Amino acid sequence: MHHAESTRGLRGRLRVVVPAALALVLIGAAPPPHRVPRAPGPAAPVAPAAPEETDEAMLARFAAAVTTGEVRGLGNFIVPEEADDEELLGAFVAALRAVCGSPGAFRLVSFARIAPDRIFACYFAGRSGVSENRGPFMLVFEKLDTRWKTSLLAQIKAMGMKDADVAAQIRRAFACRVMGLRFGRLTLSQYAALLDASADACAALAEPPYGLPFGPDAVERMRKQAQQVLTFAGRPWADIEKTLIAEAGEDRLPELGDSYLGLYIEAGEGTREWRIPYAGNEDGFAAERLPFLTGEDVLRARADADVEPGERGVGITLSAQGTAMLTNVTLGCSGRRFAIVLDGKVISTAPITTPITNGEVAIGGGFSAEEASAIAARLNAYRARAMARCKEIEGAHAGASP
């Protein structure tokens, strides 16, 4: 089977705002000679400006939307890419509501404004007497237009990972943290603020009434990481990556089998690299050591028609976080190549020539219809597992008293 080189960088929507021109037209140079000016009438009452909602009030509204189970109301808080799956969102909310048992059981633990348009918030979902709590929820809300939006995809996917490989999860989390620092939407100072806010949340969660196993060493380690991030300003990325890997240890580096899907940048000068098997190239593909996207960033996958008649590709829609990551990678790595890896093997590569900003990626591998459908099903498997787990949790706690 021939694996074609392919990617899809669909055009983003352009919104052009044209300011209206203002023209002042003077009709007559002066009033008529004997006109008596009228006394001014009473001024029209001016409605007072509505007070701006506080961060805490907005976060309380989010908690209320979660625990009342009103999916439409909660959808107002979810990023547009993810809000349209009302069925899955509804199942997730129903499971949380069953665990919490009452609105007060989904509690805001702590929050902090980490950027002008971003708020970190930590929630805890659970109640006494319930064998399984769901939390903590550490979320970042972003101001989009006039509303605050966040993503629950990571928490939803976690619902379906009951029997997941913990070591693989830890390795994937390390790659996500490092590449998020490199290509994420936060500046270094904002990222440091996020780490500090997370440390505050963990310290609070270690105390009653939560009592979660966050020891002082873990909290202090996060605070040191926040301070370290600020020292990275102006340093080449290869040095930063080397520092982070050395501190974490080689056992934190992801293995090819840790994720069914991985997107890798072609190795550059000074960066850690490895060779990934690539059909037709005995030396493999020289990739950077850490993937910048994995299957955890996939929102939806589908079998698509490929460029060749009778062949199929796989179209992927990324999550909000994955979309932002791909945008920044394609903005910052122009001229290099990236590889799409499925099941430990390079399926296709493509040069980065234009930014990919719409979160759509095509795997053009010359697949048969059956192969494309199987790949899409595997990438979408989290949804079925999460739905089943949500219903299981809802059923297990349906009869529990608040």
Condensed to tens digits (0 to 9), the pLDDT of residues 5-63 reads 433 333 332 222 322 222 222 222 333 333 333 444 455 555 555 578 999 999 999 99
pTM of the model: 0.81
Give the model's pLDDT for residue 254.
93
Per-residue pLDDT at 3 exceeds 50:
no
Q: Give me the mean pLDDT over the 358-379 stretch.
A: 91
Q: Span 258-268, mean pLDDT?
A: 94
- Name the most confidently modeled range: 92-106, 123-137, 318-332, 381-395: 318-332
The residue-averaged pLDDT of 384-398 equals: 87
Residues forming beta bridges with residue 261, ordered by sequence position = 342
- Contacts for 177 with CB less than 8 Å, ≥ 6 apart: none
Q: In this predicted structure, what is the pLDDT of residue 7?
A: 35
> 176: number of CA atoms within 13 Å, CB side?
15
pLDDT given for residue 18 in this prediction: 27
- Residue 69 pLDDT: 65
Decide which of 228 and 26 is more confident.
228
Which pLDDT belongs to residue 100?
79
76-88 residue pLDDT tens: 899 988 888 889 9
Query: Of 154-163, 266-275, 386-395, which gets the smallest average pLDDT?
Result: 154-163
Specify the pLDDT at position 375: 95
Mean pLDDT within 209-218: 90
Lowest mean pLDDT among 149-158, 293-302, 391-400: 391-400
Residue 181's pLDDT is what? 95
Highest average pLDDT, of 109-123, 147-161, 259-273, 384-398, comes from 109-123
pLDDT at 127: 63
> What share of the chain has pLDDT > 90, as a percent?
56
Res. 110: pLDDT tops 70: yes
pLDDT tops 60 at residue 306: yes
- Residue 301 contacts residue 362 (beta carbons within 8 Å): no
Mean pLDDT of 108-124: 96
Residue 178 has pLDDT above 60, yes or no: yes
Domains and CATH numbers, the chain: 55-159 (3.10.450.50)
Q: What is the overall mean pLDDT for the chain?
A: 83
Examine the pLDDT at 368 and tell me if it is beyond 70. yes
